[in-house]
Structure 1
Amino acid sequence: MSKRILIFDDDVDILSICTYILEEQGWEVFTSPHCNNIDATVRSIKPDIILMDNWIPDTGGIIATQTIKSQEDLKEIPVIYFSANNDIQSLAKQAGADTYLEKPFDLTELELVIEKMLRDKPPASA
């Protein structure tokens, strides 16, 4: 079974680059340029990891991440918060994200943070 990643970002260049790199590594990549109906989107895809942009339309990354983390069946999915904001660490904490990644990031950083989140992810409950 392939690993699934869901990327929320309204920057098509970031989506394209991340999709290309992650598909090369065997990920099944899903993207969304907005966070409308985010809980339904996440439930339909069932990702192993979520990348969440801070400036994602319409509610923004903080509320979108809080929405995911408030759902009993979704809260264990690791969320990597990513942004060019210089206060990314406190924004990620406020959102309830599992970790963060500063933009611009290099591809090695992206791979390392995803691998760490997969390693640290609790096993799915039966």
Structure 2
Amino acid sequence: MTNNSPRKIIIFDDDDDILSICNYILKEQGWEVHTFTDCNDITDRVVKIMPDVILMDNWIPDAGGIIATQTLKKTAALKNIPVVYFSANSDIQLLANHAGAETYLAKPFDLDELERVINTVV
């Protein structure tokens, strides 16, 4: 990857407000942002984009964030893409560990926190 090509991120969340805020902030920081409101055909979608990082909501339709993340981590070509698990659940750390995510971000989050967590994994 050359230095001038944008880093790519996929956000899986069914909340349009979160998608639009994250999309705006991350594009401002030079990311190429892809968003999905469900995790159907997740491996096909991720293979087409091959992002540098994935943000995964816990309550994403239809399978849910844990199964979606586990599916990615079981796929050889995708297992090394870092996943940031995000949720308003109080037990988010347990959920992220169970899913196999590299780290997590509790909702609601501030934008500095979003940036900091993403930068820890890329």
TM-score (norm 1): 0.93
1:9 has 2:22 as partner = no
Secondary structure of the 2:81 match is: coil
Alpha-carbon separation, structure 2, partners of 1:98 and 1:39: 18
Q: Measure, in 2, the Cα distance between the counterparts of 1:52 and 1:113.
A: 13
Partner of 1:47: 51
2:76 corresponds, among 58, 69, 72, to 72
What corresponds to 2:91 in structure 1?
87
Aligned pairs, how many?
118
Q: CA deviation at 1:56?
A: 0.1
Pairs within 5 Å for 1:53-68? 53-68=57-72
| Letter of the structure 1 residue corresponding to residue 78 of structure 2 | L
The equivalent residue for 1:109 is 113
Structure 1 residue 29 displacement after superposition: 0.2
SS of residue in 2 equivalent to 1:43? helix
* 1:48 positional shift: 0.3
Computed over aligned residues only, the root mean square deviation of the Cα atoms, in angstroms, reads 0.3
Amino acid at match of 1:110: L
Deviation at 1:12, TM superposition (A): 0.2
TM-score between the two structures when normalised by the length of structure 2: 0.96
| 1:1-60 CA distance string (max 9 Å, x none) | 110000000000000000000000000000000000000000011100000000000000
State the AA in 2 paired with 1:84.
A
- Structure 2 equivalent of residue 124 of structure 1: none
Deviation string 1:103-125 (CA, Å, 9 cap, x unpaired) is 0000000000111111xxxxxxx
Give distance in 2, aligned partners of 1:6 and 1:38. 11
Match of 1:28 among 24, 29, 32: 32
User: What amino acid maps onto 2:113 in structure 1?
Assistant: E
**CA–CA distance in structure 2, aligned partners of residues 39 and 115 of structure 1:** 24
Q: Which runs of 5+ in 2 are unaligned?
A: none
